[in-house]
Each structure stands twice: as C-alpha cells, then as structure tokens.
Chains A and B, each alone.
Chain A
Amino acid sequence: MRKKVSAFILLFAFWLLLTFSVEPGFFVVGMLLSVLVVVLLAGRHPRREWLLNPLRWLWLLIYMPYFFYYCIKANLDVAYRVVHPDMPIRPGIVKVPTTLKTNLAKTFLANSITLTPGTLTVDIVGSDLYVHCINIHTDDPEEQTREIVGRFEGLLKRIFE
C-alpha cells in the first residue's frame, strides 16, 4: 500500500509540474490518470529505502556539479577530436571491474561513464563493465580502471550503498 501511495504522489507531482496550472479540471484529470497508472502497474518498481536517508541526498547534490564538470570536459574533448584535421583517435573496447553491488548503482555508474570523456559503456556482465574508449592512453588494465571508474565509484558508493 505504501508503495502505491508513493507512486501515486510521484506521478501526480509530475503531472502538476507538467501542466503547471491550478485549474480544477487539470487536477481531476491528473488524479484519474495517476490512479489508473498505479492500478495498472502496481508493485513494478523496486524497494527504495535509501530515498529516506538525507545524507545520501546530500552526497547526490555534491555528485551533480562534480559530474557536470567532467561532462563539460568530455564534450570539449570530443569536439576537439572531431574538428581536428587528423582525428587523433585510438578506439577500442576495454574491460574494467567495479566494486559496486546493486543494480541501481551500476546503472548510475554506466550512465555517468557514457556521458564523460571519450567513454561509452557497451555491456555489464556480473561486476565487469565493457567500455568503449575513443582514445586509449594506456594498455595497463589497472590504470584504465582508475581512469574510467575510479572518479565516480567512491561518491556513488556513498549515495547508493
């Protein structure tokens, strides 16, 4: 029941943000649609105890500008490689291990890697990530791991585990 109520609140808040008006007609339609979606898709979303821990939200707030910095850097890097006449790229798929355990944390890590400098997650098998790099500096696996995974792992561990 608690799950359903929280899902309903989330959906209804989303509806209110989307319409952004206080007309009663919008309210009623939004309520009906939210109830419909909750009834149809009840219990499909996983447990989220970590949502209630304020410390994790704080770490998430710290994580966002950190991530954004690398994101901008990534874009400048890729843009440079694209417009450079010789295209200084050295692509390949490398394998890096991660110590994160839960699926949610791994998903966040994979998405962060995809949006940062010259790296794109291709697949996750168990605790190994296969990452496509546009420019491989080094052939040493440990160095690669530190470079690709290391900068996010610590913060993500604090947020999700």
Chain B
Amino acid sequence: MIWFTVAFCLLLLCAFFCLYRLQQGPTAPDRTVAIDVLGTLVVGFCALYALRTGKGFYLNIGIAWALLSFVGTIALAKYLEGKAFDD
C-alpha cells in the first residue's frame, strides 16, 4: 500500500528534524531532548511496521523501546543536573 510508504517517509522526515537538532543544538539539553523525541518516534515507527507486516512482535519491541528510552532520558537528565544517580 502506497499510504504506508508515505507515512514511513513522513516519520523519517520527523527523524531528520530530530537529527538536525541533535547536530545543531547549542547546549547539551537540546541534544538530549532530540534523543528523547527520536525514541518516541521509533515507537511509532515500530507500531506502523507491525501493522504493515501483520507481525505482533514489533509492538513488543515498541514497548521495550519506550521503557528503555525513558530510563535513558532520566539518566541523561540526572547527569545534566550534575548529581549522582541515587539522589
């Protein structure tokens, strides 16, 4: 179906915007925000791919990715704050 291809291309465009901010971003938090958004976009991509191929396990990948990207974001935020992780 052509519409799936269009949707994938548009999501890739979003990912490209994120990569632009990742490369350009004047400060470290800017880059972290870009990484966070990129993680959420990957989840959407996984879901669309699951629908396209009809294979449910891509959704499991999406769930795992969402949770891991959350942990990564929190760790990076704590690092930016200049604090130990158990604080």
Same complex: yes
For residue B63, CB closer than 8 A to chain A, the reply is: yes
Chain A residues closer than 8 Å to B56, beta-carbon distance: 20
The contact sample of 3 A-B pairs, CB cut-off 8 A, is A18-B60, A18-B63, A20-B56
Tally of contact residues, A, Cβ under 8 A: 2
CB distance from A86 to the nearest CB of B (A): 21
Q: How many residues of B contact A (CB 8 A)?
A: 3
Min CB–CB distance B65 → chain A (angstroms): 14
Q: Which residue of B lies closest to A21 (CB)?
A: B56
**Across-interface contacts of B63 in A (CB, < 8 A):** 18
Q: How far apart are A127's CB and chain B's nearest CB, in angstroms?
A: 22
B20 to chain A, nearest CB (A): 15
Closest-CB distance, A144 to chain B (whole angstroms): 25
Closest to A19 in B: B60
Chain B residues with Cβ below 8 Å from A18 are 60, 63
Interface string of B44-87 (1 = CB under 8 A from A): 00000000000010001001000000000000000000000000
A29 to chain B, nearest CB (A): 14
Of all A-B residue pairs in the complex, the 3 with the closest CB atoms, nearest first, are: A18-B60, A18-B63, A20-B56
Identity of the chain A residue whose Cβ is nearest the Cβ of B63 in the assembled complex: A18
Closest-by-CB residue of A relative to B56 is A20
B14 CB to nearest chain A CB (Å): 13
Residues of B near A20 (CB, < 8 A) are: 56
B57 to chain A, nearest CB (A): 10
B59, closest chain A residue (CB): A18
A18 to B60, CA, bound (A): 7
- CA A118 to CA B60, docked complex, whole Å: 32
CB distance from A65 to the nearest CB of B (A): 23
- State in angstroms the CA–CA spacing of A18 and B62 once bound together: 12
- Give bound CA distance, A18 to B66, whole Å: 14
